[in-house]
Amino acid sequence: MKSFAIIFLVIASVAFAQKVNLTEEQKTKLAEFKKECVASSGVALDAVENAKKGIIADDQKMKDFLFCVAQKIGFMDKDGHFNVDVMMAKISAQHGEQIAKDVVGVCTAKTEANGPETSFVLAKCLSEKSKQHVSLA
């Protein structure tokens, strides 16, 4: 479940389809999201790989990448607001309802000045607060 974000960034979400059971269609879509977000943000691929391991660089390109992914998987809107219902549904589907409840409330309790900053804090929180390492990257 290190790959949460896979569906997000569970959901990873995008970059991380490691231990989450995704359909081939979901894996393809996530790969497309990752490619698009890497291109638009300019983030280095090694930084994305490190993020999958929970080492999330405090870097503007990484923040832009995470925000891009969060939007594409429906975790956040273009204004940087959380879509809690979407997060709960997607995390519950991949990790179970209890894990979703454990992390979504805590990780969406605080927002930052903008979408990239908020998505960065969300990714760090998902990585740190989930026992099964739910990941956004």
**pLDDT confidence of residue 70:** 93
* Measured distance CA(111)–CA(129) in Å, rounded: 16
Q: pLDDT tens track of the chain, all 137 residues?
A: 344 443 344 334 433 334 456 778 888 888 899 999 999 999 999 999 888 878 899 999 999 999 999 999 899 999 999 999 999 998 888 778 888 888 899 999 989 999 999 999 998 888 887 655 455 55
What pLDDT, on the 0 to 100 scale, is given for residue 99? 83
Residue 18: its pLDDT value, please? Answer: 44
The identity of residue 111, as a single letter, is T
**What pLDDT, on a 0 to 100 scale, did the predictor assign at position 108?**
93
Statement: the pTM of the whole predicted model exceeds 0.75: yes
Q: What is the pLDDT of residue 17?
A: 39
- Distances from the Cα of 76 to the Cαs of 8, 18, 50, 64, 136, in angstroms? 10, 23, 22, 13, 12
Query: What type of residue is 15?
Result: A
